[in-house]
Amino acid sequence: MKPAYHRQITQIALQRQFSPLALEEIITANLGQDALRYQIGHDHFHFDSNSFQAGHAYIKTCRNNAITATSQGQIQLARAEFGRLTHTVQDFYAHTNYTALWRELHPQAAPQQIDPLLESCLTDPRLHSGRLYYPLELLSFLPQTQALVLPHLPKDSHAHMNKDDPSRPDFEYAFSAATARTRLEWQNLAEKLTSLQQAQLTGVPC
């Protein structure tokens, strides 16, 4: 996803639960995952190139780190760990064909109706994510050369599969699924915290 949409998704999903400062810390960590140094060799941060096992494991690690940091009173670190997790779960919908598999089962459904965790789609053997075919893929990131290189990249490339911005097919479904999933991730984390810890993390008194 482009940074503006990671920001919007995170705001919509979490702004009722978190103070503006806490939310900003989460968003900063989320956006930090797209730093240039994390674009190569960090496929699991973005669910690129079918890095499903590593991606799911990374989400779990971030969640556990957030719990540990909260229990040690390291609230800023806990928010950063949760922020990193939100980036990866959001990219899942932007970089895989999950939305296509879900829409196959619900052809009439609106974007807002998408279930982000439908088991039959998550375990569908056809589930895959975009591969990064460097160096040609790099040119697909530039608006000036995107159209030029697209015909030369395979159908399973990131360039063909991504739903990173509204110009891409299914973007609204990816956006909606990512928003719902971000909310669920907070619920999942909150369940493992005491109400005092939740208040510390959200910056909102209980």
Residues that bind Zn ion (CB under 5 A): 34, 46, 91
Q: How far is the CB of 42 from Zn ion (least distance, A)?
A: 9
Start-to-end CA span in the chain (Å): 33
Question: What dihedral angle (degrees, nearest 10) is formed by the CA atoms of 169, 171, 176, 182?
Answer: 130
Q: How far is the CB of 47 from Zn ion (least distance, A)?
A: 8
User: Contacts from 164-173 at CB under 8 Å and sequence distance 24+?
Assistant: 164/1, 164/2, 164/5, 164/94, 165/1, 165/2, 165/5, 170/99, 170/100, 170/103, 172/111, 173/93, 173/99, 173/102, 173/103, 173/111, 173/114
**Tokens encoding 89:** 């779960």
- Closer residue to Zn ion, CB minimum distance, 96 or 202: 96
- Closer residue to Zn ion, CB minimum distance, 34 or 156: 34
Q: How far is the CB of 73 from Zn ion (least distance, A)?
A: 30
Instruction: Output the residue with the shortest Cβ distance to Zn ion.
Output: 46
- Closer residue to Zn ion, CB minimum distance, 34 or 137: 34
Q: How far is the CB of 106 from Zn ion (least distance, A)?
A: 26
Q: How far is the CB of 17 from Zn ion (least distance, A)?
A: 23
